[in-house]
Amino acid sequence: MKVILGIGGGIAAYKAAELARALVEREMTVQVVMTRAAREFVRPLTFAALTGRKVITGMFDPDGAIEHIRLAQESDVLVVAPATANLLAKFAHGLADDFLSTLYLAFTGPVALAPAMNSNMWLHPATQANLETLRARGHHILDPEDGPLACGMTGPGRLADPLRIATFIQALAERRRDMEGETVLVTAGPTQEPLDPVRFISNRSSGKMGYALAEAAAARGARVILISGPVRLAAPPGVTLVRVRTASQMRAAVMEHFEQAGIIVKAAAVADYHLASVPAMKIKKTAARISLELDPTPDILAEVGRKKGSRLLIGFAAETENLVQEARRKLESKNCDMVVANLVGQEGTGFESDRNEVVLVLKTGEMVPLPAASKREIAGRIFDHALRLRLALAQ
């Protein structure tokens, strides 16, 4: 696998070294191309040492003029990290005034762009319009993360985690793109049900399983809509994130988007009860016992189950006992095609863990135990079985 790593001129250029290293560790041949501005931040020698190849720095390097065509033809993926606002603008408009922008025009394979910049530059309508153009061209935009920035501001603009970029690039390079053309809707995380303006009821879901599913589907080429309750996770690369807080907001978002999807995965731990009318003022403490009267929230999975048509519907069942029986009951009562059942309340798997151990209960009557593995691996296996199940159900 041959990857071109284009590096733009931003402070995040130093993180591209970690990315180069991660790509090499994944056994990819990495050809680094640096813009003039990138070389102001990091020296080419760093990348030459990491990749074992001479870094291309300019159009007029010896052989530069023909190199960009040859390099474009023999490479599997072009990733640009950090992609500055300037580079995004040049790519969007087809400007070719240096090696990287010229190479971009000559390259016909998959392109992944990992922007990093100041929040105001990222949010500027010009940058957003350029991103829209690049997305429409089918490029993968690996959205920046929120957080403190080198300029002192806090907000969106930090380069996505280099290791996650590397995993995404590996999947692109391997062209394990068996979900291309597919739209997948995933719900993730807990919901929060307010009790008053400052308090809420929620649960221990971390969102990790849902985010792993979104990441796995996107890496395999699917368009992914991720509807997420409040979690501390960055949106996986290339995924459209819709943030919600309550069960009823999650329901509204799912109802708005599910018709576009061929596969719907409901990994969210939706609160089952909420306070139907939330007081406008904070509940004051008194010496007396208080009680809350809670009403059931809408069962989103069951509602999608009634409306799903031929869409593949995957539910989750987190149980503390009678795992398979409960999963089978939910499969039938909510009209799912698959229920991913996991035992919760154990050490090392489940809610807050990075690992999980689940049983897939399928509409065909099959039961597939998946041994303990990382949530990312489990996510991949769930989609392997989902694609197979869909074929089986179509016959």
We find the least distance from the C-beta atom of residue 283 to ligand CTP, in angstroms, to be 24
Q: Contact between 301 and ligand CTP (CB under 6 A)?
A: yes
For the annotated catalytic residues, the residue numbers are 151
Nearer to ligand CTP, 92 or 300 (CB): 300
Q: How far apart are CA 153 and CA 381, in angstroms?
A: 40
Q: How far apart are CA 224 and CA 383, in angstroms?
A: 13
Residues 232-261 contacting ligand CTP, CB under 6 A: 247
Q: Are 58 and 98 in contact (CB under 8 A)?
A: yes
Q: Contact between 272 and ligand CTP (CB under 6 A)?
A: yes
Q: How far apart are CA 331 and CA 339, in angstroms?
A: 6
Going by C-alpha positions, the residue among 40, 13, 18 that lies closest to residue 30 is 18
Nearer to ligand CTP, 258 or 316 (CB): 316
Choose, by CB under 6 A, the member of 330, 375, 376, 385 that binds ligand CTP: 330
Give the distance from CA 47 to its chain's centroid: 27
Choose, by CB under 6 A, the member of 300, 323, 370, 386 that binds ligand CTP: 300
Q: Contact between 268 and ligand CTP (CB under 6 A)?
A: yes
Going by C-alpha positions, the residue among 253, 259, 267, 213 that lies closest to residue 236 is 213
Residue 346: is it exposed, middle or buried by C-beta count within 10 angstroms (0-12/13-18/19+)?
A: exposed
Q: How far apart are CA 337 and CA 328, in angstroms?
A: 10
Choose, by CB under 6 A, the member of 266, 375, 376, 385 that binds ligand CTP: 266
Q: Are 378 and 370 in contact (CB under 8 A)?
A: yes
Q: Which stretch binds ligand CTP (CB under 6 A): 45-53, 119-127, 266-274, 343-351?
A: 266-274
Choose, by CB under 6 A, the member of 7, 33, 56, 318 that binds ligand CTP: 318
Q: Which stretch binds ligand CTP (CB under 6 A): 160-168, 177-185, 232-240, 296-304?
A: 296-304
Q: Are 301 and 266 in contact (CB under 8 A)?
A: yes
We find the least distance from the C-beta atom of residue 232 to ligand CTP, in angstroms, to be 19
Size of the residue set binding ligand CTP (CB under 6 A): 15
Encoded one letter per residue, x for contact with ligand CTP by CB under 6 A and - for no contact, window 6-25 reads --------------------
Nearer to ligand CTP, 114 or 338 (CB): 338
Choose, by CB under 6 A, the member of 117, 179, 317, 370 that binds ligand CTP: 317
The most distant pair of C-alpha atoms in the chain lies apart, rounded to whole Å, by 83
Nearer to ligand CTP, 322 or 364 (CB): 322
Nearer to ligand CTP, 47 or 316 (CB): 316
Choose, by CB under 6 A, the member of 99, 107, 316, 351 that binds ligand CTP: 316
We find the least distance from the C-beta atom of residue 80 to ligand CTP, in angstroms, to be 37
Choose, by CB under 6 A, the member of 55, 165, 222, 270 that binds ligand CTP: 270
Beta-carbon count within 10 A of 47 CB: 26
Q: Are 352 and 231 in contact (CB under 8 A)?
A: no
Instruction: Report, in angstroms and rounded to the nearest whole number, the Rg of the chain calculated over CA atoms.
Output: 23
Q: Which stretch binds ligand CTP (CB under 6 A): 6-14, 24-32, 209-217, 299-307?
A: 299-307
> Residue ranges of the alpha helices (H) in the chain?
15-25, 38-41, 44-51, 64-74, 85-93, 99-106, 119-123, 125-136, 162-174, 208-219, 247-257, 300-307, 323-333, 375-394
- Which residue(s) pair with 185 in the sheet? 225, 264
Encoded one letter per residue, x for contact with ligand CTP by CB under 6 A and - for no contact, window 347-376 reads ------------------------------
Nearer to ligand CTP, 140 or 266 (CB): 266
SS3 sequence of 76-106: CEEEEEEECHHHHHHHHHCCCCCHHHHHHHH
Q: Contact between 297 and ligand CTP (CB under 6 A)?
A: yes
We find the least distance from the C-beta atom of residue 271 to ligand CTP, in angstroms, to be 7
Q: For 222, what's the count of Cα atoms within 13 Å in the CB-facing half-sphere?
A: 26
- Which residues are at the interface with ligand CTP (CB under 6 A)? 247, 266, 268, 270, 272, 297-301, 315-318, 330
